Every structure is written in structure tokens, then in C-alpha cells.
Chains A and B, each alone.
Chain A
Amino acid sequence: MEKKTGIPSLEAVDLHCVRGERKLFGALNFTLRGGEMLRIGGANGSGKTSLLRIACGLLEPTSGEVRWGGENIRRLQEEFWRQLVYIGHANAIKDDLTAAENLNVACSLTGIGAQPGRVGEALRRLGLAGCENLPARVLSQGQRRRTALARLALSEAVPLWILDEPFAALDAAAVEHVQNLIAEHVSRGAAVILTTHLEAGIAATLRIDLEAS
């Protein structure tokens, strides 16, 4: 596949975050360009999830801003979100829908055209062959996590992936699958931000460690 040249860069400019009474982090700056991976580390409660959510635009920082291609993401709104895939702690899976239906809905919401054949292929790639038509209610924790992550296999065209603990609840084989997906995406010239306790499988270009307060 050809390398994507020139995806916009994601810049964090002087981010401060105060949640409730606690100051989580202050004066945080980074610039993430295409082909780079940012890994955010830190103990539990140090603000990793808050930082990811600020980078997505779900949470407003106490001060500072996040820019995509030089423009504040709060101004870009849907334009930015069309170029983003965010997989957070929650799986965003409905119990009453099948794995395939869940994946279809997830793709449709973020504007990825979900071709029917590819949905099955994505699920199989994450080791969920045979689970496509089972309601998510009967799947195990690991299988649900993999259903959520199957979106990544359909998101090659999306330049920015933001992943919160993508390897949680996965077995070794699944971890390897996801690591491959991430590695391929970065080598395509896209950008990935993730938090994890495990090794990401590829060297992080940037690393930020938040201190626990």
C-alpha cells in the first residue's frame, strides 16, 4: 500500500486539566505527525484517559487547546471526527445486537462505509469467526473487546487512531493481531495514540508519562 503523505498533524498546545479538585497535568505539549505513534504512560488515576478524551474532543481542557492541521478541533467538530477512530475503555457494544450488527453500526456512525463482506472478514481477522451472528450478550469479555477492536481492521483510511488500553482483556494471540493492525497503520503513514501497560509491539515515536498525584 502506498504511504499516505501529509496527514494533518495533531498538536496539543499548553494543555491543563483539573478534574474536580485534582490537577491531573499542566503545560502539556506534543506534536504528532503521520507515521508516528504516541504512547501515554502513567499510573492509574494519573489522567491518561482524560488526556485521550481531550485529544478526541470529548472533554474540554481547563486551558490550552488541541489542533488538527493547525485548527482547533472544537471548531472543526465533525470534520475532525470523520478522521478519527476512538476506542475507549467502554466497548460501545449493545448486548442485544449481534457482533456483525454492532460492527456495522459502529462503522456507519463514524462515516466508514461498511461493505458487508469486509465486516465478516474483520471479525475473522480478530479471531471471531463463527461469532458474527451471536448476540453480544453471550460473548465473553475478551470477545466483546475484540468486536470493538474489529473496527480498526476496517479503518485503514482513517488517519488518526486513539486507543485507550486496546490490549486489556485480550489473550496473547489477540494482542498480536491488534499489534499488527497498529503497526500496519503507522507504516501507512497514519498516526496512533494509545495507552497501555503492555508493550505496544512497535517502538513509540513519542512517549509521555503522566505522574500520579
Chain B
Amino acid sequence: MMAALRCVIHRDLLLAVRRSSDVLTVLLFFVIVASLFPLGVGPDPALLRAIAPGVIWVAALLASMLALNRMFASDHADGTLEQMLLGATPLGMTVAAKVLAHWLVSGLPLVLISPVLALQFDFPQESLWTLTLSLALGTPALSLIGAIGAALTLGLRGAGALLSLLVLPLYAPVLIIGAGAAEAAVSGLGGQAQLLLLGALLVFAGAFAPWAAAVALRISSE
């Protein structure tokens, strides 16, 4: 079974590398959205410092959501998904492997570039680590929850907009706690509690979301 899962991850990473424009677009979206906020609210450093955690988190969330279409759509279109449904490994595990590969390609780059964006908002350097860690824990949770939405909307007209409507309410807790962690770090309270909560959410999502997404995939492929 591990061999099959490694094969799935390897395959998805290989495909992402060979079609890297998809990946880079998502990263650029993150950067652009975060940069739009100062244009909207004005360059006052105090204001930007205050909204920085929220802005970066919302931008990461939107970028992560944008990337969800890539998760199952192309496999569904060329019939590869059907073969995964008939695979020798439990579908939940295959989905978990795909989500991991998806996050490595669409989520991890966001995490890595977030400190740079945060500095644009004059984010205090001591708190950068908490912000990055909150995104490192939060973006996989977002990918896992998003996988359920992506699986439910496979092949539907207007799947992109519908996916946002389904998934954004479910993202709310992760956003609240993640941004809360960064803010707590900035205000000196320390974000450990929130980070632990985020970790708990991630574990919860990791345990249940792949299984729910697997059920949704079977329903969508009927």
C-alpha cells in the first residue's frame, strides 16, 4: 500500500513540475492580493501593521481555494480518477496522498513566501515565526477541508464559484484561529494556545476529511 501511495504522490509532484505554470499562478495570486490591500486602505504604517495578520491570512486562504480546482478535476476528465476509485488501496488514503502532494505544491510555497509579504506590512520580526507556523499548520487544514468541496463539485457547471460558496464557511474557524495566533504574537500575548488549537484542527481534518472526500468522490463519479 505504501508503494502505491508513494507512487500517487510522486506522480502528482511530477505532473506539477511538468506543468509548473499552474503552481506559479497561485503563488503570484497570493502576492498580488496581499499587495492590493495597502492600495485599498492607504499606506499608513500603523493601520497596515494592525491589519497585517488578517490580510495575509485571507490572501493565503483565497489563493489556497483557487488552487483547489487542480486537485481532482484533471484526473476526473481523463479517467484516471476512476482507476483510483478501483484501486487496491483504500480511497481515503489515496485522497490523503493527493492532498499532501497538492499542499506541497500549492500550500507550502505560500507558507515560505509569507514572511516576505509580512515585512511589507512592517510586521514585527520576532512574531514572523508564529505567523509562518500558523500558516504551516493552517494551509494543510485548508487543503483537507477544500478537498471535500472539490470532490463534491466535480464536473459541475460553475464548479469554481460553487466550490467557494461551499468551502469558505468551513474555512472560517481556521482563519479565525490562524489569524488570531499571529495577532496574539504581535500583541505580546504569545500565540501558543492558538497554534495548539490549529494543530488540533489539522489533526481532526486529517482524520476525517480524506474519508469524507472519498465518499464524495464516489458520489460524483456515479
Contact = CB atoms under 8 A, between A and B. Distances in A.
Indicate yes or no for A touching B, C-beta below 8 A: yes
With a 10 A CB-CB cut-off, give which of B14, B80, B222 has the most chain A CB atoms: B80
25 contacts: A77-B90, A78-B87, A81-B86, A86-B83, A88-B82, A90-B78, A92-B78, A92-B79, A92-B80, A92-B82, A92-B83, A93-B78, A93-B79, A93-B80, A96-B19, A97-B15, A101-B11, A104-B7, A105-B7, A106-B83, A109-B7, A109-B8, A109-B83, A109-B89, A110-B83
B15 A81 contact: no
A109 B87 contact: yes
Contacts of B221: 58
A78 B19 contact: no
Given A78-B87, A94-B80, 14 more contacts: A78-B88, A81-B88, A88-B79, A89-B79, A90-B78, A95-B78, A97-B15, A104-B7, A109-B8, A109-B83, A110-B86, A110-B88, A111-B4, A111-B87
A108 B86 CA distance: 12
Interface string A37-71: 00000000000000000001111100000000000
A59 B222 contact: yes
Contacts of B85: 58
A142 B110 CA distance: 41
B15 to A, nearest CB: 5
B88 A91 contact: no
B79 A109 contact: no
B89 A78 contact: yes
Contacts of B84: 109
Interface residues of A, number: 29
B3 interface: yes
Interface residues of B, number: 24
Interface of B: 3-4, 7-8, 11, 14-15, 18-19, 74, 78-80, 82-90, 221-222
Contacts of A82: 88
A126 interface: no
A87 to B, nearest CB: 9
A87 B90 CA distance: 20
Contact of B88 (A92, A97, A109): A109
A149 interface: no
Contacts of A106: 83
A84 interface: yes
Contacts of B4: 108-109, 111
Nearest to A114: B7
A105 B79 CA distance: 13
Can you list the 5 inter-chain pairs with the closest CB atoms, starting with the nearest? A90-B79, A111-B88, A108-B7, A92-B79, A96-B18
B11 A84 contact: no
B155 to A, nearest CB: 13
Nearest to A56: B86
